Amino acid sequence: MSQPSSRLVELDFFRGLVLLIIVVDHIGGSILSRFTLHTYALCDAAEVFVFLGGYASATAWAALCARRTEAAARQRFIRRAFEIYRAFVVTALLMLLVSAILLACDITAPNLTVTDLDDLALAPAAALSDIVLLRRQPYLAGVLPMYAWFALAAPLALPLAHKKPWWLLALSLALWGLAPLATPWLPHAAGMQWDFNPLGWQLMFVFGVIARAQPVFQRVSAHRLGWIVTLAALATVVACAAWRLSPDAVFDSDLKRNLAWFRALNFLGIAWLTAQTVRLGWTKRVACALPWIGLIGRKGLLSFVAGAVISLVVDSLLYWYTDGYLDVPLGLAADALALGSLMLVVRLSGALERLLPAKVKVSA
């Protein structure tokens, strides 16, 4: 699924699209979320988000190495890890602040961080230090610590992806297999868990890295038997959709936390079919027709933090107003409000950047 730089419009488009999906997926009464990936697949937007993170990281690494040096690329990824960590702390504090404001207004909803607020009231220093040390990860902030670790590991993984991709894949599979055993050793406060085990989810990140660094898709799809792989991907997607839509389907949170094998397999099938749409040029035409989605993708970190806040606010207000019952008109209105708010934040940030002096932009 490796693409030349001229095709990065598709990458921005997919990143923006998945960020929009994440927003509505975290609104319980959303109507649009009834038609997103998690409804018809065993995986969801999280797999897409992490895979695209690996793909984008490999793209950025190659560009930095070409323009400057590998040492400069390593330094940039280390800085990026601290930027993501800072975004986690900001997101965690915003989750607490928004929850406190809503509760003060007598608005109650299942996803408000009541436990975290109670602990903060009882022992503020301990609760805040837990956040700083990643031992406490309030609602919707949990994906960012995992991403920070990936950014730190990228200078090791990315050169290996170019020189010895099979070694990287073997190491990644081994870590993924050990992930459930390592869960108790991850830093955590009493009664708290990581939403995403980084040792498990690094497999999805590595898939994205290898897809960008190696021409796997081009070689296999160009082979005379490549159609068999496409047919197998289609069969996998259909079978997983049938299982997901079955009334007997039961899913445990640990299956997502540690990236269960069927989630990864289902995603690979979807990714392969999606790569076919990229090869045929369909995705690029859609991306060019909807440039505002690509804009959200280009401002990924800002979009994620803003989307987390917007999701929590809209979800809580909708739940409070409807008493948790599904209301189609209000659900659609909530979707429009959430997506419109995210687009407004991204556009305002772009306008602010254009107003800032060049020196301020560089230092930021």
> Per residue in 224-269, pLDDT tens?
999 999 999 999 999 999 999 988 777 777 889 999 999 999 999 9
The tokens for 70 are: 């590998």
Predicted pLDDT at 331: 97
- Single-letter code of the amino acid located at 251: F
How far the first Cα of the chain sits from its last, in Å, is 33
Contact 318, 29 (CB under 8 A): yes
Let me know if 351 is exposed, middle or buried by CB neighbors in 10 A (0-12, 13-18, 19+). exposed
Predicted pLDDT at 350: 77
Distance CA(345)–CA(307), nearest Å, equals: 9
Predicted pLDDT at 130: 96
Distance CA(280)–CA(286), nearest Å, equals: 12
Helices (H) then strands (E): counts for the chain: 18, 0
Predicted pLDDT at 250: 73
On average, the pLDDT of the chain sits at 92
> Could you give the angle at which helices 261-279 and 282-289 cross, rounded to 10 degrees?
80
Predicted pLDDT at 160: 96
Run means of pLDDT, 10 residues per run, the chain, 364 residues: 57 96 96 96 96 96 93 95 97 97 95 94 96 95 95 95 96 96 91 93 98 94 93 97 86 87 97 95 95 94 96 97 95 98 93 63 38
Contact 169, 216 (CB under 8 A): no
Predicted pLDDT at 254: 82
CA angle 235, 21, 135 (to 5 degrees): 105
CA angle 117, 49, 201 (to 5 degrees): 80
Strands (E), 185-265: none
Total count of residues recorded for the chain = 364
Predicted pLDDT at 180: 94
Q: Which residues contact 277 (CB under 8 A, 6 or more apart)?
A: 283
Strands (E), the chain: none
Predicted pLDDT at 357: 59
Predicted pLDDT at 360: 44
pLDDT digits 0-9 by tens, 33-44 = 999 999 999 999
| Structure letter (DSSP) for residue 32 | G
